[in-house]
Amino acid sequence: MLDLTVQSQEAADRLGDGILELAKYRETARPGWTREVFSEAYRESRQWVSGRMAAAGLEVQVDSAGNIVGRLAGTDPKAPALVTGSHTDTVDGGGRFDGVVGVLGALEAVQLLRESGQRLSRDLLVVDFLGEESNAFGLSCLGSRAIAGELTPADFDRQDYRGASLGQAYRDFGLDPAAVLQTRWARTAPLHAFIELHIEQGPTLEQRQLPLGIVTAITGIERLVATFTGSPDHAGTRPMNDRKDAMVAAAEAVLSVRREGCGAPNHGVATTTRIESESRSPNVVPSLVRMTSEVRSVDTAWLSGVRGRLAEEILANARNLGVDVEFDWTTDNTVVHAHPRIHDVAAAAADAIGIPWMPIPSGATHDAVHMAALAPMGMIFVPSRAGKSHCPEEWTDFADIATGVGALAQTLTLLDRTEPSPADLT
């Protein structure tokens, strides 16, 4: 068993220094600690991450999907590898901890294993996955999707708001889309398990005063782009009762989306993040408006009905206003459950080193969703101060991260010894 009392202060200090150092790589023209995928700040930060992995004694490679992979060799080269890691890109105006804790925490877990004299029999791969956050092309988890074989050629044709393609963004970043599509890890070697350390990003652990959450399931996400088409008219002369105002129909739809989230019976959230109007002149009734929204839940039954319920309500309200609506829905990811065996091993690890924990669902999505296609998957959460995330105030005390690292290291130790069950292999 790991002795956490000796190392934890040192580990917390080292982690804190690393997190604050990585945060210096930021897009200074943007708010908070912005380091979006494909940005110059991200490109430079990846050199720093590679160096940090090498300093932790890992053999570092960048795979053809752009994931930075550090390998700690085990004693049995034939045994399927353990994988851990997360991401170091941020949302626009984001914080310093989302994803970063899972990458630098994994390196600290390597250090902890070394200091406690433990050598894993399996290879341990620490991954900094390319571009986890949903980006201007509307696609999250680029690196983990690629290695799970879940990226398609059509994804590279996606365009951002300026009309640039995702494929071009990859090329500009030095990555070849054709090679990315070939990077399916399952083709090369089977994996034993994937476990990701992450901040909770919500308020539950802090409210319950618990240091650790062990994830039960990761939310499904349905994304909507709705296009409202009305009629352009003079804003000064067209009577109020004779308008086809696309903006008003979109405004009604924003409220429908909100009502949908508020009405979820178990767990559900619904957010409109963007409204774009083609009307530039302040004196024209808006005739073309696009609305970007998302709905999330770990309740598959409820989430599967969301498209139908929202279409019915939004259409009815728009028709009353004489406005047409087109719906373009995509499933970002379905609900993914943590593998019960990985959940139980993480729970046993926390118990073994005396860390109280609770089972917890994740309302945020993660690379773990896609890694679940390659290996039995689990996640460990540490508390977020005031539950804040995707904002500059995001914070987790370094001592709390060190506690999570202890749980991660102990989980890796136990997983290393766990034989796959027949159910894992089907």
Query: Using CB under 6 A, which residues numbered 360 to 379 contact ligand GLV?
Result: 364-365
Residue 151 CB, shortest distance to ligand GLV, in Å, is 17
> Total binding residues for ligand GLV by CB under 6 A?
5
DSSP secondary structure, 86-155, as one string: EE----TT--SSTTHHHHHHHHHHHHHHHHTT---SS-EEEEEES--S--TTS---HHHHHHTT---GGG
**H-helix or E-strand spanning residue 379:** strand 377-382
- Check residue 134 for interaction with ligand GLV (CB under 6 A): yes
Q: Nearest-CA neighbor of 356 among 196, 207, 195, 214?
A: 214
Residue 62: phi and psi, rounded to 5, are -110, 120
For ligand GLV, which stretch binds (CB under 6 A), given 38-46, 132-140, 345-353, 405-413? 132-140
Residue 132 CB, shortest distance to Mn ion, in Å, is 6
Per the structure block, which two tokens stand in for 286? 């808006």
Residue 383 CB, shortest distance to ligand GLV, in Å, is 17
Residue 352 CB, shortest distance to ligand GLV, in Å, is 30
Name which of 258 and 390 has its Cβ closer to ligand GLV.
390
- Cβ-closest residue to ligand GLV? 364
Instruction: Measure the CA–CA gap between 264 and 124, rounded to whole angstroms.
Output: 40
Partner whose footprint covers residue 365, from Mn ion, ligand GLV, none (CB < 5 to 8 Å by kind)? ligand GLV
- Check residue 181 for interaction with ligand GLV (CB under 6 A): no
Q: Nearest-CA neighbor of 212 among 7, 10, 401, 414?
A: 401
- How far apart are the two ends of the chain, measured CA to CA in Å? 31
- Check residue 268 for interaction with Mn ion (CB under 5 A): no
CB atoms within 10 A of CB 157: 12
305: which DSSP letter?
T
Total residues belonging to the chain: 426
Partner whose footprint covers residue 88, from Mn ion, ligand GLV, none (CB < 5 to 8 Å by kind)? none
Name which of 256 and 365 has its Cβ closer to ligand GLV.
365
Residue 99 CB, shortest distance to Mn ion, in Å, is 4
Partner whose footprint covers residue 18, from ligand GLV, Mn ion, none (CB < 5 to 8 Å by kind)? none
Partner whose footprint covers residue 213, from ligand GLV, Mn ion, none (CB < 5 to 8 Å by kind)? none
CB 111 within 8 A of CB 409: no
- Check residue 222 for interaction with ligand GLV (CB under 6 A): no
Name which of 99 and 220 has its Cβ closer to Mn ion.
99
Name which of 245 and 294 has its Cβ closer to ligand GLV.
294
Report CA 272 to chain centroid distance, whole Å: 18
Name which of 98 and 400 has its Cβ closer to Mn ion.
98
The alpha carbon torsion through 175, 51, 406, 379 (nearest 10 deg) reads -10
CB 287 within 8 A of CB 229: yes
- Check residue 133 for interaction with ligand GLV (CB under 6 A): yes
- For Mn ion, which residue of 99, 167, 361, 404 counts as binding (CB under 5 A)? 99
CB 104 within 8 A of CB 49: no
Residue 365 CB, shortest distance to ligand GLV, in Å, is 4
Residues within the interface to ligand GLV (CB under 6 A): 133-134, 140, 364-365
Residues within the interface to Mn ion (CB under 5 A): 98-99
